[in-house]
Amino acid sequence: MFKEYYKQGDIHALVLASKNGIPIATYIKKKDRSESFSALSATVLGASEVILSGLGKSRPELIEIDAGDSVLLIKELDRNSVLSLLGDSRELNYLKETLYEIDSKINNIKKTESTRGV
């Protein structure tokens, strides 16, 4: 599924990982970075959840880290997985749309599998 997205030049990394940081599906231009990218994305999400819940706030819907020329988006898919996307900051709206589109596709796959008993 990621293949159709990473052909876009604006996406540098796309990762589905467990909330423990274990890569499930990845596309990263620098292949040797998939494990650390997965682990650190899960860590950022977990840290954000701890900070916000400690202040009595809701869980984060989307974490956006602006790095000037690039942006990192991190989103919890469910209680067990996290989706991360790194791309060109000039394409922020496109990257957000892409992240939510992938989220929707993954959730549809999960629903289909659960109704089939997979």
All domains in the chain, ordered by first residue:
3-112 (3.30.450.30)
Per-residue pLDDT tens for 12-21? 899 999 999 9
- The arithmetic mean of pLDDT across residues 61-74, rounded, is 96
Q: pTM value?
A: 0.88
Task: Name the nearest CA neighbour of 45 among 81, 96, 90.
Answer: 81
Mean pLDDT along residues 44-66: 95
| Structure confidence at residue 7 (pLDDT) | 60
Nearest to 95 by CA among 4, 8, 19, 2: 8
Q: Which tokens sit at 109?
A: 């796959």
